[in-house]
Structure 1
Amino acid sequence: MSLRIEPREMAEVLIKIRKMSFAQEMSLKLGKSLLMSGDLYPADIAPVLAPNKYGNMAIFPMAWGFTHQAMSKPLVNCRVETADSKPLWRDSWYRRRCVIPASWYYEWGYPIYEDDSRSIVEHRNTKKIKFAIQTEGSEITYIAGLYRYEEHSGMQVPMFSILTREAAGTVRDIHGRMPLILDKENILDWIRPDGDPSTIVEKALTNIVFEKAVEYHRSPNEFITM
């Protein structure tokens, strides 16, 4: 999975983050760009919605993927079915939830043909292609995530991971999993530290549309799904 952020839709947010001294220090410590537009991959810095110290929704720069000493690659996805029970995710599930606004996300899946008479085996043996997937009728797709702080190069850096669920709606035709996507009206309730995430999960959107995407301009980083 990778993300796409169209600069024309989030220009004000991107400019604000790039001016933050915290973001500039984070970029320097991690050796990562603060461009935060175009195609974003695991380990990149992205704009993320989370509560500030007063409990109000604010935008922050965060790096994509929790790190773990036993893993060589960042943990960029977390299954919503086990987020409340696995030690790695549990604390963030109850106390540190966030939302990643994106124009759409990319996923590799099986192509769909009209009047498809192939068997399931033949379908699964088909070469996967890249799809651009987004919320129907919306310029922004709000993806639910978890975050935590990690020490990197002497700095406390906010890191996020995307929550995934079983694919729903038309996405099931191309892939077995999908991000947990929220309605704009549910964002504030989701990020509230004292909120009930399970209730919001039940309201996740399924009105998702997709189309064949253009080719990657750079190779995506390898990542681990848990």
Structure 2
Amino acid sequence: MCGRMALTLPHDAMAQVFDAAPANDLPDVPNYNVCPTAQVATVTSDAGTRHLRAMRWGFVPHWYTGVTDRPLLINARAETIAEKPAFRAACRERRCLIPASGFYEWTRLEDGTKLPWYITRRDGAPLAFAGIWQDWVRDGAALTTCAIVTTGANAAMAPIHHRIPVVLEQEDWPLWLGEAGKGAARLMQAPGEDVLHFHRVSRAVNSNRASGPELIDPIDAD
């Protein structure tokens, strides 16, 4: 799964990397502890014209009567995304990229202690998660919301967690965004074994109120 991430790339740099026109309401960066329900930067494509825009992290299906009265959908499982009523239309029609500098995952010890890890691309490039999005409108309130697509972890990540975000390579962005025809389903798989790098970080990040660049600093494993 993916339940917390960091985004440190400036807006103009993100716009250049993803060849997208930036909106004026993008979330502040750097943010070393992006939590669910926060605004995140996303990339969408409108007939080949890409837009860098803000969305609420936490997918809200159109039939929800409120944003807090049902489970918070921050991830969508690749194995069932095309079948789940909440996600199947978005999977076909509303796919996006969700940029991140890195994301956090936790291993849990037998005594319940949670040990956090920070995961990035080994080559230093930004991560581009496969995402889906949905407009939600109810009683005059309107939100644009998104979820990260996840799949089973590869062998390198499995000791940390059994799920992993779908990380898309740059050459696959057009297909996921609907710019290169059909067949995006084949992209919903774990990244190669050598794509990601991970290191232990301080348990300070266990708090969703923590902030600052020290959250991603490596520490010796204990």
Same fold (TM over 0.5): yes
Aligned equivalent of 1:40 = 34
Aligned equivalent of 2:127 = 141
Q: Which amino acid aligns with 1:75?
A: L
Aligned equivalent of 2:186 = 199
1:85 has 2:86 as partner: no
* 8 Å contact kept, 1:131–1:210: yes
1:129 has 2:115 as partner: yes
What is the DSSP-based 3-state SS (H/G/I as helix, E as strand, rest coil) of the residue aligned with 2:51? strand
- In structure 2, the CA distance between the partners of 1:175 and 1:124, relative to structure 1 (3 Å rule), is farther
- Give per-residue Cα distances to partners, 1:6-44, cap 9 Å, x unaligned: 1xx334157975x62xx38xxxxxxxxx32531211111
1:216 has 2:205 as partner: yes
What is the CA-CA distance between 1:184 and the residue it aligns to? Answer: 1.5
1:168 has 2:154 as partner: yes
- Give per-residue Cα distances to partners, 1:163-185, cap 9 Å, x unaligned: 11111131111111111111111
1:57 has 2:46 as partner: no
* 8 Å contact kept, 1:101–1:141: yes
User: Distance between the aligned counterparts of 1:125 and 1:203, measured in 2?
Assistant: 29
User: Distance between the aligned counterparts of 1:55 and 1:153, measured in 2?
Assistant: 33
| Seq. identity, % | 21
User: Distance between the aligned counterparts of 1:63 and 1:196, measured in 2?
Assistant: 27
Aligned equivalent of 2:92 = 94
Query: What is the aligned counterpart of 1:5 among 4, 7, 17?
Result: 7
* 8 Å contact kept, 1:13–1:59: no
The more displaced of 195-204 and 136-145 is 195-204
Structure 1 vs Structure 2 CA RMSD: 2.7
- Which runs of no fewer than 5 residues in structure 1 stay unpaired? 25-33, 111-122, 221-226
TM superposition score normalised by structure 1:
0.74
More helix as a share of residues: 1
User: Distance between the aligned counterparts of 1:202 and 1:130, measured in 2?
Assistant: 23
User: Distance between the aligned counterparts of 1:176 and 1:182, measured in 2?
Assistant: 19
TM superposition score normalised by structure 2:
0.76
What is the DSSP-based 3-state SS (H/G/I as helix, E as strand, rest coil) of the residue aligned with 1:198? helix
What is the CA-CA distance between 1:208 and the residue it aligns to? Answer: 1.5
What is the CA-CA distance between 1:155 and the residue it aligns to? Answer: 5.0
User: Distance between the aligned counterparts of 1:128 and 1:148, measured in 2?
Assistant: 32
- Which runs of no fewer than 5 residues in structure 2 stay unpaired? 16-20, 210-222
Q: Which amino acid aligns with 1:84?
A: A
Query: What is the aligned counterpart of 2:174 among 184, 188, 191?
Result: 188
What is the DSSP-based 3-state SS (H/G/I as helix, E as strand, rest coil) of the residue aligned with 1:84? coil
- Give per-residue Cα distances to partners, 1:113-167, cap 9 Å, x unaligned: xxxxxxxxxx655622111012221331111111111126735432100111111
User: Distance between the aligned counterparts of 1:125 and 1:167, measured in 2?
Assistant: 24
- In structure 2, the CA distance between the partners of 1:102 and 1:96, relative to structure 1 (3 Å rule), is same
